[in-house]
Structure 1
Amino acid sequence: MVRFEGVVKRFGDQTVLDGLDLGVARGEKVTLIGPSGSGKTTILRLLMTLERVNEGTIHVDGSPFSHMPDRHGGGLVPADEKYLAGPRRRIGMIFQQFNLFPHMKVLENVMEGPVHVLGLSKEEAAERARELLDLVGLDDKRDAHPTRLSGGQQQRVAIARALAMRPDVLLLDEVTSALDPELVVGVLDVLRDIARTTDITMLCVTHEMGFARDVSDRVLMFDHGRVLESGPPEQLFETPAHERTKAFLGAVR
């Protein structure tokens, strides 16, 4: 579903991703772990087109994503905004911050994307929104404004909003880092249910090792823009092969 081929991303003189080769299969749940600054979130930002690659290419579902076919000849050229409008709809992201519209009710927040981006009728969008709010346990809050909700409830609304777009790939960027500890469990439980009951492809950045162990088909350890090792969670967490992985896991457990 997602393929990075030789991807390099630089910010000034700093190379954040260094020739990254990475594939994620359709329906696979992959978690990226590693120290801050190792390039994990940059991968998600490239898939959200918030950043552009310096070298290499990204494909989604077999089609070019970071690049597009050259209209004047063979090969690929960097994708323009018009081209990106199509594949971008296939990617959903849940951020650290909830980014809900404070002037809209919860139901309206979840409806906004399907109506204005996907072109659904308000009736269709409202029905989809109610189903998803029920999924995340917030159907009774649909007429509330986000400012009346706890942080954990706001993040669950953000999850429903991302799913309302019916993305093929769901990106999760430290989705519990802005929450008080007592609110983390409820949000992670919702995400566990989604991982267990849907075939959506998930790419997750987290420091919650228990969550990574529960939801992942594969865990990748990053350091300095490279994948040091990868494997099933029980292998990587119990018998890591790389000393850097052992040191990192010892520090975060």
Structure 2
Amino acid sequence: MIQFDDVVKKFGDHVVLSDLSFTVKPGEFVTLIGPSGSGKTTILRLLMTLETVDGGTIQVGGEYLSHEERDGRLVTADEKHLRRMRKRIGMVFQQFNLFPNMKVLQNITEAPVRALGLSKAEAEQRARELLDMVGLSDKVDAHPMQLSGGQQQRVAIARALAMRPEILLLDEVTSALDPELVAGVLNVLKQIAETTDITFLCVTHEMQFAQDVSDRVMMFDQGRVIEDAAPEKLFTQPEQERTRAFLQAVIDRSA
């Protein structure tokens, strides 16, 4: 479902991703861990086309993401192609990014009506189903400022799902939450992962969540994957000393 081939990303002279190659199968839940600045969020931003690659290619569902084939060669994709590809991918950010002037229901229905062409009735039915899924069916008429941080993040998750994405990207979705609100959001995500065929790519510092939900965990350092394994192996018998040191540091911080 996701394929990176020799992807390079630079910011000025700083190389963030260096010849990065990896794949994610349809329906897989893959988590990216590693120190700050190792390139994890940049990967998500490339998939959302918020950034452009400086080398290599990305494919989504067998189609090039930001390139097109013309006359037997790859060229930069036009905006029409990018818009079509963006519809296949949803993202939940660290900050909730809800529209403060809109009630919860409209926050979820706005994009499906405008971007997918759903009728208002169909979009509202879908929104109510999703709010029920995330445990907020009683907050349809609330404004975001009337919700807790955990509730706002669950609305953001419902909003992303309303676009019916094939891929859902999660970028440190609990980092802005008070500790007591984290478990509720993670439980919602775990339920979605277990009950849908959505492909997940997740950046998180919640190691227990990564261990519980992931099919694979990739350890990043300096723009490269240094270890890629099932969570039961990576968290208990990591092969790389850098992985062991990172996990120990995370455990020490949370102790």
TM-score tier after normalising by the smaller chain length? over 0.9
Aligned to 1:239: 237
- Cα separation, 2, equivalents of 1:190 and 1:74: 45
Letter in 2 for 1:191: L
Q: CA deviation at 1:51?
A: 0.1
Letter in 2 for 1:214: D
SS of equivalent residue, structure 1 residue 238: coil
Give deviations 1:212-248, integer Å, cap 9, x for gaps: 0011000000000000011000000000000000000
Letter in 1 for 2:166: D
- Cα separation, 2, equivalents of 1:68 and 1:203: 24
For residues 1-253 of structure 1, the aligned pairs below 5 Å read 1-70=1-70, 73-253=71-251
- Which moves more between the two structures, 74-83 or 11-20? 74-83
Give deviations 1:134-189, integer Å, cap 9, x for gaps: 00000100100001000000000000000000000000000000001111110001
Q: CA deviation at 1:80?
A: 2.2
- Cα separation, 2, equivalents of 1:63 and 1:144: 40
Letter in 2 for 1:8: V
Q: CA deviation at 1:74?
A: 1.5
SS of equivalent residue, structure 1 residue 221: strand
TM-score by structure 2 length?
Answer: 0.98
Q: CA deviation at 1:75?
A: 1.1
Letter in 2 for 1:14: H
Give deviations 1:80-100, integer Å, cap 9, x for gaps: 222101011000000000000
Letter in 2 for 1:194: I
**Structure 2: runs of 5 or more not aligned:** none
Letter in 2 for 1:118: L
Number of equivalences? 251
